[in-house]
Amino acid sequence: MRKEDSVKLISAEGFEFVIHKEAAMVSQIISNMLTSPGSFAETEHREVTFPEISTTILEKICQYFYWSLQYANGKETEFPIEPELTLELIMAANYLDT
Amino acid sequence: MYIRVKRNKTTYFIQCDPTEKTLEIKQKLNGLIDQPVNDQRLILVGTGEVLEDSKSLAEQKVENDAVVALTFRKDDNEFEDVNIVRPNDFYQPRDADGANW
């Protein structure tokens, strides 16, 4: 994987998740940030910080991105969500337009 | 499938195939971090097993969503210990940080 094809997502606690650009594009808001011409510093550095999303939730979201890509490619598996994460995950998904 | 390669506070999501060899994963990592493949060591976190370059992921029971630790070779030629930082709170209620209201 080349650096140019990756995106770094940073959680509230400063943990970093390096994922494939294609996976990040599952989120409408990240996709907008990365593709809109010149208006976001994120476009240039391919780095997005989410001060309101905790590490556990952000990791779950990244897992969802990859699951979503596989699902779109016809691999129909279930996406497991721990009940105690549900509320925070819904809020994050809503924010990310995912 | 994908695997989660972790070191310190960073997680790399790497897309891969069960038939790919460990060396190919290291080459993918090399594209992201400027660390030569010979200076990387991958360890399957579940079993603590060091992954061998010439073996495939399937052979070493590395499955989809598996967590693999990454360590680098240090100056003294030894590999560093596995170090994966976890967030200390598994679940933090929104109102725990009351000051933000």
ipTM metric: 0.89
- CB-CB under 8 Å, A66 with B15: yes
- CB-CB under 8 Å, A16 with B9: yes
Distance from CA of B78 to the nearest CA of A (A): 26
Residue from A3, A8, A11, A15 whose CB has the most chain B CBs within 10 Å, to mutate: A15
Q: Taking a C-beta distance cutoff of 8 angstroms, is the pair B43, B37 a contact?
A: no
Q: What is the pLDDT of residue A1?
A: 77
d(CA A4, CA A92): 26
Distance from CA of B89 to the nearest CA of A (A): 9
How open is the CA angle A34-B86-B50, to the nearest 5 degrees?
95
Where is average pLDDT lowest: A42-46, A74-78, A94-98, B70-74?
Answer: A42-46
Q: What is the pLDDT of residues A61-78, one digit of tens each?
A: 999 999 999 888 888 888
CATH fold of A3-96: Potassium Channel Kv1.1; Chain A (3.30.710)
Q: Which domains does chain B have, with CATH numbers?
A: 2-76 (3.10.20.90)
- E-assigned strand segments in B1-100: 2-7, 10-15, 40-44, 49-50, 67-72
Query: Which residues of chain B lie closer than 8 angstroms to A66, CB-CB?
Result: 2, 13, 15
In tens digits, chain B (101 residues) has pLDDT values of 999 999 999 999 999 999 999 999 999 999 999 899 999 999 999 899 999 999 999 999 999 999 999 999 999 999 999 999 988 755 544 544 444 44
More confident residue, B23 or A86: B23
